[in-house]
Amino acid sequence: MTNPFAPSSSKPGHGTIKLALLPPSTPILQTLSYQYPLKLISPPPLRASNSSNPILIHAVYLLTYGGGIVAGDTLDLTIHLARRTRLTLLTQGSTKIFKSTSRDIISRQRTTVDLESSAALCYLPDPVQPFARSAFEQTQVYNLRGGDGSLCVCDWVCEGRSARGEKWGCWRYTSKNEVWGVNEEGKRRLLLRDNLLLEEGGLPDDGFVGRMDGMGVFGTLILRGPHFKTLAEHFVSEFALLPRIGGRKWDAEEEKLSVEEERRVMRQEQETKDGLLWTSASLRGFVLVKFGAREVEGAKRWLREMLIREGTVEREFGERALLCLK
Amino acid sequence: MTIEDEIADLEQKLQTARNRLNPKPSNRPIGMANSSNTSALHTLLLLADSQLPLGSFAFSSGLESYLAHHRPSPLSASQLPSFYNFLRLSLSTLSSTALPYVLNAYRYPNTLEDLDNDFDASTPCTVARRASVAQGKALIGVWDRSYRQHHKGSLDHVESVKVLSSFHKSLRHGGIQGVEWQSNGHLAPLWGIVTLVLNVPLYESAYLFLFSHARTVLGAAVRSSVMGPYQAQAVLASSDLQNQINDLVQEKWDRKIEDAGQSVPVMDLWVGRHEKLYSRIFNS
């Protein structure tokens, strides 16, 4: 007997999000489809509270059944943002990578985002948490069609279940972020590639903990485009204002600090307490921020101080874009 | 003794006596007869020389910053164990980030432009970028001013030499399509193509790339008073270092460019924070 229904176009683990622009300026969520084990949930769109241009901002939660990725799962998410639309991608709690039965069974996640001109994406997920003896590869590809797409994307990973004594005990963890410029003729050029490789080999077999220098979490924050210009400048200027390493303060006299300066000093003291190191660099139209800390909590504290107090993310995308830092 | 043995023995003695009377040309030092052998050796010696004017002595590849982040307590304690760890991590990083570009530029020289762009896109901090570009530009300069005039034979690399020349031109005159489309001149891909046109075998090119890095980092360690020159030479001569370099070259032999990446994430932090050191003697 033939099947009377048209074959489903969705495949296991596949998801699609499409934001379109209804003229003159109403963004709508045109497509939201997903297949087990991926689940996408979209709360009602919000208007950014005090943005100069109060456009509707959509948000989508990326969820997986069981709150994590089971060995052998393959997730494939495709996102298309029409020009001038804005999307917030969110997770609910860290993405757990459950242990694999063998080194060869690798779970994978691939996210491809097409941004047309002036579209903006804010993707601040919780950190990925690869359990001991897990194997996971993820790739995030951002295609900028037209020059001025905006990105604020964080990718961070922690040592595993710290409470159970796990310290970078995964078998394999790789995470790659690529940003491509695509011109009118469809010619692609790589603008940025950030690839973290924790894989066997290269170093004597002491797991990965020997190369971490006591850090329990590492992250990369990628900033680009007009929406995040002031935020990017904030990171660059705060990095420039970090005290010199190995310098001494000869002048012991108490200076009078402004409120802003006092907060900065407090943040820097907290960085030291949390064993947090960070850098920022302006290159190829991006500001790339890298950070590492002893514990996830310390890294969160720092991101909160840097992102929430500065205000750009909340102004442009609303408070919920910062959910992962709560 | 059998009669056969006796004959063999006598023949041997006769041969030795004849040789003494009339030395044969085959007694020249091994290898001297073959001029292509010495030319390969000569090229390798040129490239392995620490006086090769790439300015590598100015860079510590993050060592200086690493030491500043790991002050020993008490201050007089030895930084040696900590240094060995750094050298190991530094070689691992270089092999996972840069070595694939060396190998690919050698194998596919006409993709030089793309390799240079992709390497630039994959270098996450200004300090590392500056170091790579400074040495890369110096290498193409050495090729242009010193090696090219002596580079006669090997018609096999005519195309690659053309690629190098036009790349050199675009470096000097800047790109035409705006900042993001400019040539940069990173060391790794240029090392690959320059060693190709100089007829250095691929394995040796890759080995030398990592070896030179180890030598430069050790040189920086000596100048940072981490160890003395004899100790540094002992590390350089050690079979541990040889084994690590061999293992790394073999592991990354077939690595694709798009799978190059950082294997030691904290390295990016040390290198990036070099700018924040109160006092510096190196540029990276």
Comparing CB atoms, the residue among A244, A285, A292 nearest residue B269 is A292
Q: What is the pLDDT of residues B34-73, one digit of tens each?
A: 666 688 889 999 999 988 999 999 999 999 999 999 988 8
Q: Look at residue B130 in the predicted model and tell me its pLDDT.
A: 94
pLDDT score at A204: 59
* Tens digits of residue pLDDT in A203-252: 655 679 999 999 999 999 999 999 999 999 999 999 999 998 887 766 55
B44: tokens are 């390798």
d(CA A67, CA A294): 24
Cβ within 8 Å of B, A 60-89: none
pLDDT confidence of residue A227: 94
Which residues in chain B touch residue A206, judged by CB atoms under 8 angstroms apart? none
Please report the DSSP string for B26-66 in residue order: GGSPTTTT-HHHHHHHHHHHHHH-TTSTT-GGG--TTHHHH
Specify the DSSP element, H or E, that contains B216: helix B202-223
Question: Angle at the Cα of A36 (from A34 to A37), degrees rounded to 5?
Answer: 110
Average pLDDT, chain B: 90
What is the full DSSP assignment across B132-198? HHHHHHHHHHHIIIIIGGG--S-GGGHHHHHHHHHHHHHHHH--SS-GGG-----HHHHHHHHHHHT
Return the amino acid letter for B283: N
pLDDT at B32: 52
Interface contact flag, B272 A195, Cβ < 8 Å: no
| Inter-axis angle of helices B239-252 and B80-97, nearest 10 | 20
Burial A26-49, CB ≥16 within 10 A → b, else e: ebebeeeebbebbebeeeebbebe
- Percent of chain B at pLDDT above 90? 71
pLDDT tier, B87 (very low <50, low <70, confident <90, very high otherwise): very high
Task: Over range B167-178, report the average pLDDT.
Answer: 76
Instruction: Report whether pLDDT(B28) > 70.
Output: no
Q: Which residues of A touch B119 (CB under 8 A)?
A: none
For chain B, which residues make up each domain, given as ranges? 79-276
* Burial B22-35, CB ≥16 within 10 A → b, else e: eeeeeeeeeeeeee
Instruction: Name every chain B residue with its beta carbon within 8 A of the beta carbon of A211.
Output: 89, 92, 263-264, 266
What would the 3-class secondary structure string for B91-149 be? HHHHHHHCHHHHHHHHHCHHHHHHHHHHHHHCCCCHHHHHHHHHHHHHHHHHHHHHHHH
For residue A108, give both structure tokens: 């994978």
Q: Is A108 helix (H, G, I), strand (E, B) or coil?
A: strand
Fill in the amino acid letter for B68: A
**pLDDT number for residue A55:** 82
- Identify the closest residue of chain A to B250 by CA–CA distance: A202
Mutate to test the interface with A, among B66, B117, B264, B281 (most CBs of A within 10 A): B264
Of A211, A243, A285, Cβ closest to residue B89? A211
* pLDDT in the model for residue B174: 67
DSSP bridge partners of A182: A145, A188
Confidence of residue B78 (pLDDT cuts 50, 70, 90): confident
The complex scores an ipTM of 0.92
**Predicted local distance difference test score (pLDDT) of residue B187:** 98
Give the residue-averaged pLDDT of B101-105: 98
- Residue-wise pLDDT for B210-269, tens only, equals 999 999 999 999 999 999 999 999 999 999 999 999 999 999 999 999 999 999 999 999
**Nearest 5 degrees, angle CA A251-CA A257-CA A260?**
135
User: Minimal CA–CA distance to A154: which of A192, A187, A128, A172?
Assistant: A128
* Structure tokens, B273: 């924070």
Task: Give the residues of chain A that fall short of pLDDT 50.
Answer: none
Are B92 and A246 a contacting pair at CB < 8 A?
no
When comparing pLDDT for B21 and B9, which is higher?
A: B9
Residue B73, Cβ density class (10 Å: 0-12 exposed, 13-18 middle, ≥19 buried): exposed
pLDDT at B20: 81
Q: Decide if B93 contacts B125 (C-beta within 8 A).
A: no
| Residue A247 confidence (pLDDT) | 75
Q: What is the pLDDT of residue B125?
A: 87
Number of H helices, E strands in chain A: 5, 19
- Tokens coding A49: 């509270």
Please, which pLDDT band fits residue B74 given cuts at 50, 70 and 90? confident
pTM of the model: 0.90
CA distances from A259 to A45, A256, A263, B138 (A): 35, 10, 6, 48
pLDDT of residue B203: 97
pLDDT at B270 over 60: yes
Ramachandran region of residue A133, left (φ > 0), alpha (ψ -120 to 50) or beta? left
